[in-house]
Amino acid sequence: MMKNCEYQQIDPRALTVSPSSAQIHTVKKVQRLRRKWEVFPGKNRFLCDGRFILARQSGVLPLTLGLIIVTCCLFFAFDCPFLVEHLTVFIPVIGGMLFLFVTISLLRTSFTDPGILPRATPDEAADIEKQIDTSGSSTYRPPPRTKEILINQQVVKLKYCFTCKMFRPPRTSHCSLCDNCVERFDHHCPWVGNCVGKRNYRFFYSFIVSLSFLTSFIFGCVITHITLRYQAGKSILQAIQESPASVVELVICFFSIWSILGLSGFHTYLVASNLTTNEDIKGSWSSKRGTEDSGNPYSYNSIITNCCATLCGPMPPSLIDRRGFLPPDEAGPAASTSEIELPPFAAKNGTHMCTQSTKDVLERMVHSSEFQGLCPPGIPKTTPLGLEGSNTAAPSTEPLPSAGCSRHHACHSVVTPCPPFSRSSRRDSLHSINPAFRLASPSPSLSHTTLILGDAPDMGFILPREHPLTTGEDEES
């Protein structure tokens, strides 16, 4: 036993395990240490070995960048020479500074982790489920997956996130496009190709404010340019013909100004009242407006303090540790689950779960006998094979109406109609689900479906339900 232990400790990666648990070690990638971003479960893309994070659907970020760069290039090439000659040399200087500021803010918004919460470890998830079990009611209904807490004497409901296996902290929301829980979730912005949350909200705000200045500046300069040419004795048409690029810029700026200025104004209001777009759209605190001056428990009730807290507060660190290395023993199960998950895909009923739990128990026994010597605690006890089957039993598409936002900005498509079940059940399988819990609850596959339905649309929709045993849990208050 001692010898075994020493051997494992010295060279865990070269460890070849007995054939019964060969599935854990069928990995080919154990040769090199993997970084955590490589096994990140959310729908994100990583660049430069985990230094930059982007949503998988980069949306129209190339378009945004392209529009900005093209407009500015046209401005510098065609309008600036004339204006420098007739007005002042500061015009391209100011233009250049604004352009730089806009581009850097945009890139920082797109490539910064918005405040993604890492998913709960299997032990944590099991602990939470145990707590819910003991505190839940013993009736036929599955226990409600919400927790109520008091924040500044106001009742706030915390919802349980089925994907991330934890109770979401206040102001946290699960983005269905990125498949992550994001702290202080504002919205998912397709123009920027990323979620806007706690960590990148200030970059986003400086992006839209500086962009408003930039578009207004270019618009003003182009108008001045054409006016000057017109005043020099030519007709408007002639002036335009001499500088056709100005018309292009005018058109782009004209259409952008409305949306960008409106968006800046809206976000300035949000910053001043310490709200997120998510909360504003859902009207989370507006029902209290009649009784108090602000029902928002996070507001400091002072515009300046709210602004400072949101924009100038300390920069929180990234919680997902993208560039950290995975411990070698954890690299195994994560890689191998992608190989195991395919066979159980077809199974759809409770009997599947029964065989699963037996398998899990057997694997746990194998694990404990072999990994006794490995020091790092917290080795996942089971190969996480969750109820993929019941996921597929759920309706494949749900008609998700858009967020009903009256503002026409693309940024405010808080929910782009994306079937919530398109995210593969692979996500669930990466986290062990306590099989004992599933077995204990009656008609488990149906209740699991119900609970999954409750998770995906985080924007306050009531989905059509097929099962009478449903709780109104996903209704946003």
Partner 1 sequence: MNLQDLQQPAVSSKVFLQRDYSSGTICKFQTKFPSELESKLDKQQFEETIQTLNNLYAEAEKVGGKSYLEGCLACLTAYTIFLCMETQYEKVLKKIARYIKDQNEKIYAPRGLLLTDPIERGLRVVEITIFEDRSIGSGR
Q: Are strands 173-175 and 180-182 parallel, antiparallel or unpaired?
A: antiparallel
Closest distance of CB 107 from partner 1, Å: 10
Helical pair 61-74 and 201-231, crossing angle rounded to 10 deg: 30
User: Torsion over CA of 337, 59, 194 and 57, rounded to 10 degrees?
Assistant: 0
Residues 321-340 that bind partner 1 (CB under 8 A): 321
Kindly state whether residue 257 participates in binding partner 1, applying the rule CB under 8 A.
no
Instruction: Rule CB under 8 A: choose which of 319, 342, 362, 469 binds partner 1.
Output: 319
**Closer residue to partner 1, CB minimum distance, 43 or 171:** 171
**Closer residue to partner 1, CB minimum distance, 96 or 419:** 96
Closest distance of CB 147 from partner 1, Å: 10
Closest distance of CB 1 from partner 1, Å: 8
90-118 b/e with 16+ CB inside 10 Å = b? ebbeebeebbebbbebbbbbbbbbbbbbb
Kindly state whether residue 396 participates in binding partner 1, applying the rule CB under 8 A.
no
**Closer residue to partner 1, CB minimum distance, 9 or 235:** 9
Q: Which residue is it, tokens 């119900």?
A: 450
Kindly state whether residue 108 participates in binding partner 1, applying the rule CB under 8 A.
yes
Closest distance of CB 188 from partner 1, Å: 20
Amino acid of residue 199 = R
Q: Which of 72, 189, 253, 411 is catalytic?
A: 189
Burial of 376 (0-12, 13-18, 19+ CB in 10 A): exposed
Instruction: Rule CB under 8 A: choose which of 63, 69, 232, 315 binds partner 1.
Output: 315
**Closer residue to partner 1, CB minimum distance, 314 or 472:** 314
Question: Of 391, 394, 379, which Cα lies nearest the Cα of 429?
Answer: 391
In terms of residues, how long is the chain?
Answer: 477
Kindly state whether residue 160 participates in binding partner 1, applying the rule CB under 8 A.
no
In the shown chain, the binding pattern of residues 370 to 389 toward partner 1, with x for contact by CB under 8 A and - for none, equals --xx-x-xx-----------
Instruction: Rule CB under 8 A: choose which of 38, 123, 330, 473 binds partner 1.
Output: 123
Kindly state whether residue 302 participates in binding partner 1, applying the rule CB under 8 A.
no
Question: What are the residues whose beta carbons fall under 8 Å from the beta carbon of 186, sequence distance 6 or more?
Answer: 195, 196, 197, 201, 204, 276, 277, 278
The question of whether 307 is a catalytic residue gets the answer: no
Instruction: Find the angle CA(114)-CA(59)-CA(56) to the nearest 5 degrees.
Output: 60
Kindly state whether residue 6 participates in binding partner 1, applying the rule CB under 8 A.
yes
Instruction: Decide: 46 and 321 in contact? Cβ < 8 Å.
Output: no
Kindly state whether residue 47 participates in binding partner 1, applying the rule CB under 8 A.
no
d(CA 382, CA 406) in angstroms, rounded, equals 48
Residues 67-106 that bind partner 1 (CB under 8 A): 100-101, 104-105
**Closer residue to partner 1, CB minimum distance, 78 or 298:** 298
For residue 204, the tally of other CB atoms under 10 A from its CB is 28
Which window, 252-260, 278-286, 311-319, 330-338, contacts partner 1 (CB under 8 A)?
A: 311-319
Kindly state whether residue 19 participates in binding partner 1, applying the rule CB under 8 A.
no
Instruction: Rule CB under 8 A: choose which of 155, 236, 308, 354 binds partner 1.
Output: 308
Closest distance of CB 280 from partner 1, Å: 17
Looking at beta carbons, which pairs linking 71-77 to residues 24 or more positions away fall under 8 Å? Answer: 71/218, 71/248, 71/249, 71/252, 71/253, 72/99, 72/214, 72/218, 74/245, 74/246, 74/248, 74/249, 75/218, 75/221, 75/222, 75/249, 77/245
Residues 203-242 that bind partner 1 (CB under 8 A): 203, 206
Instruction: Rule CB under 8 A: choose which of 62, 244, 283, 313 binds partner 1.
Output: 313
How far is C-alpha 219 from the chain's CA centre? 34
Closest distance of CB 199 from partner 1, Å: 11
Closest distance of CB 124 from partner 1, Å: 6
d(CA 103, CA 125) in angstroms, rounded, equals 41
Instruction: Decide: 446 and 467 in contact? Cβ < 8 Å.
Output: yes
Instruction: Rule CB under 8 A: choose which of 55, 61, 68, 117 binds partner 1.
Output: 117
Helical pair 61-74 and 244-272, crossing angle rounded to 10 deg: 130
Closest distance of CB 167 from partner 1, Å: 8
Instruction: Decide: 427 and 448 in contact? Cβ < 8 Å.
Output: no
Kindly state whether residue 184 participates in binding partner 1, applying the rule CB under 8 A.
yes
Site residues for partner 1 per CB under 8 A: 2, 5-6, 9, 100-101, 104-105, 108, 117-118, 120-121, 123-124, 127-128, 149-152, 156, 158, 166-167, 169-171, 183-184, 202-203, 206, 297-298, 308-309, 311-317, 319-321, 372-373, 375, 377-378
Catalytic positions are 189
